[in-house]
Structure 1
Amino acid sequence: MNDTQGENKTTESLSFTAKSSLQRMVHELLGKCDVTLDKLSFDQDLYDECKKIMASEYHLPSPRYPWFEKYLSVGVVIAFTSYAHLPRHHRVQIAVHTSFATALDDIFSHHHQRMESFNESFLKGVSQDDLILDGLAKALLNTSKYYSPIQSNLIVTSTLDFMTSLIMEVKIKKMESFDSPSFAAYYRDMSGVSIAFAMFIFPKGIDPATYIQCTPQIGMYINYMNDVLSFYKEEVAGEEENLVSMLAKESSITKYEAIQRIADDVAEAEKDISTRLAGNKLALDGWQSFKRGYVRFHTSSPRYKLDELFELPYGLTVKETEGGVEDL
């Protein structure tokens, strides 16, 4: 993930040519995926509801923990953009889960010793002795209220893999070379929590058999689209601990060649997903809503700085219905 690092860096280090190349690549990718480049206004009502839940159920009142608000905002943005097709209580759960994961991703380097025991403590069902770690553990235990057993299991294991990836990141920073052809993709799969976010897409009522074969491609779309849309922010911040840099080192190519390969993989994954889900309208509609909303998550979040690359008009808002939402 690593999306919170380098937010205060300047944007002067990227040349006009590099910006133009990146703009063209993103436009081409979104065209292939049938996704519009726009953004949504912040859902303050959802944020306020989540803030109350954080105080009452997770013991994180905003006045005592103001630093957590930026992570809650990230969770809320991904919930109202990427999961707009889901009922509100699902979106609250997703916002809570995401906010804890994002916070841990950001603060791990300062608290890694305590986090290293998270998986063991979670499996034993004992306290983490930390509000954020206990919060994530509780969010994982609540997953079965909203998703099927298969989905819940995958959400939990994906999140545990993410926690392990944070420990691995400390070691990766000390590695001078990357000579394993598949390591970059393997590590990205662990660190991206993509399988959890893929399972969030589909309500419990949809038979997993209709979409489970798409899980690897959906995970690829989630991880790699994030890599493409995070590339600008990470380049101007000088970040190197990411898939693009690792892939470039592994393959002895430039980072711009690496990001183009990643973009091509995203387009192929989206095509395959839409084809496979064509026989189930509910599953396909959920996917189509998510794939567009996931791009909106990046364009609607100041952290990705995409307004420095593109003109971003405001897209359609959403109207709540009994079963979920629909475009106005």
Structure 2
Amino acid sequence: MSSSEEGQDTEDRLGAEAYLRPLITSFISNIGYTTAPVISDGTYWSALHQHAINTVYVGIYTWLAVVIDDVACRSLEDFEPFHERFASGKPQPTVFLEAWAGIIQSAFDYWDPMVANFIVAASLDLHNACVLEARSELRRLVRTKGGQSLAWYMRSKSGLADAYAYFTFPKAVYPDISCFLEAIPDMSAYFCLANDVLSFYKEEKAKEKDNYINYRAYYEGNDPRTVLGEVIGQTQNAVKRMRVVVKGREPYEQALNNHILGYVAFHTLSDRYMLSEIGLGEDAFSVVNGKVL
């Protein structure tokens, strides 16, 4: 990188920090986040043992979903017929797609059958959205002012939000769906919108424009920063509503709050989102007895 490019990069970072740091700090403070908790070894291993099977499932599922998002565009001939093979019980053409089909099907082992249905549906939506984003038709799309709903449609399909909302409540610990069902729509929105807020700096730095905030800004005729502020307001209101749903309903209330605040920590602790560059990152070494786990 040349000295002039380095200077521009520093100027851009300082400019982003000046407006993003107070905005995001206010957002996470308003939903009750302070810092990633320091957890003792005993607490960590006890929690891991209690939820070990579900934790392993979600970890594998997440890894496979990330790969789907990254590689669908390189192998459309394998990825496009996935649903047909999945529905008919035919084998998938690659080891990876076979593993993806298997992890989706095994949701029924860990969640209530109705909940697992929603997890399966969200998984298939993600797959379809990744295929659609890779197809030439979307790249050729000429946007019109009549297409406002497309921004959220694509975001909701690609975000796996329903799946992660339901992952909060595995049936072995949270068997009563009625205790959390009203919160699911807002939880789903939260996982999409909070990610949009907390990844905004990373995407602006990379000059990525194919995302929900920039699409919405175009359709609404607004500046992306204005839309970011509106999205923060929406997200905070969603958190307030879902907390009303589970208030006094333990252990559902604790599970929901842990997931809401843990999702923030996931972003602040990860180098992927580059939040340390604007003074908002946290040190993973301090989370569990000074060690990374």
Residues 28-52 of structure 1 show CA distances to partners (whole Å, capped at 9, x for unaligned) of: 11111001244889x9xxxxxxxxx
Aligned residues: 270
Distance 1:13 1:303, change over 3 A: farther
CA RMSD in angstroms, aligned pairs only:
2.4
Distance 1:161 1:258, change over 3 A: same
Matched residue type, 1:181: Q
Distance 1:37 1:184, change over 3 A: farther
Identity of counterpart residues, as a percentage?
A: 26
Of the three residues 189, 199, 207, the one matched with 2:176 is 207
The correspondence of residues 84-233 of structure 1 with structure 2, limited to 5 A, is 87-170=51-134, 171-179=137-145, 180-204=147-171, 205-233=174-202
Offset of residue 178 of structure 1: 4.5
TM-score normalised per structure 2: 0.86
Offset of residue 181 of structure 1: 2.2
Rounded Cα–Cα distance in structure 2 between residues aligned with 1:155 and 1:86: 22
Deviates more, 1:117-126 or 1:162-171: 162-171
Rounded Cα–Cα distance in structure 1 between residues aligned with 2:215 and 2:93: 35
Unpaired stretches in structure 1, ≥5 consecutive residues: 1-9, 44-79, 319-328
Distance 1:157 1:105, change over 3 A: same
Q: Which residue of structure 2 aligns with residue 306 of structure 1?
A: 275
Matched residue type, 1:92: V
User: Which protein, 1 or 2, shows the higher relative CO under an 8 Å CA cutoff with sep ≥ 6?
Assistant: 1
TM-score normalised per structure 1: 0.77
Rounded Cα–Cα distance in structure 2 between residues aligned with 1:112 and 1:37: 42
Q: Which residue of structure 2 aligns with residue 72 of structure 1?
A: none
Distance 1:249 1:283, change over 3 A: same
Rounded Cα–Cα distance in structure 2 between residues aligned with 1:183 and 1:85: 42
SS of 1:202 mapped into structure 2: coil
Residues 241-285 of structure 1 show CA distances to partners (whole Å, capped at 9, x for unaligned) of: 110110010001111111111111110000000011113111110
Does the Cα contact within 8 Å between 1:188 and 1:243 map onto a contact in 2? Answer: yes
The structure whose Rg is larger is 2
Does the Cα contact within 8 Å between 1:14 and 1:235 map onto a contact in 2? Answer: no
Rounded Cα–Cα distance in structure 2 between residues aligned with 1:155 and 1:284: 21
Q: Which residue of structure 2 aligns with residue 33 of structure 1?
A: 31
Offset of residue 13 of structure 1: 7.1
Deviates more, 1:131-140 or 1:217-226: 131-140
Does the Cα contact within 8 Å between 1:147 and 1:203 map onto a contact in 2? Answer: yes
Unpaired stretches in structure 2, ≥5 consecutive residues: 1-7
SS of 1:142 mapped into structure 2: helix
Distance 1:172 1:39, change over 3 A: farther
Offset of residue 296 of structure 1: 1.3
Does the Cα contact within 8 Å between 1:86 and 1:203 map onto a contact in 2? Answer: no
Q: Which residue of structure 2 aligns with residue 23 of structure 1?
A: 21
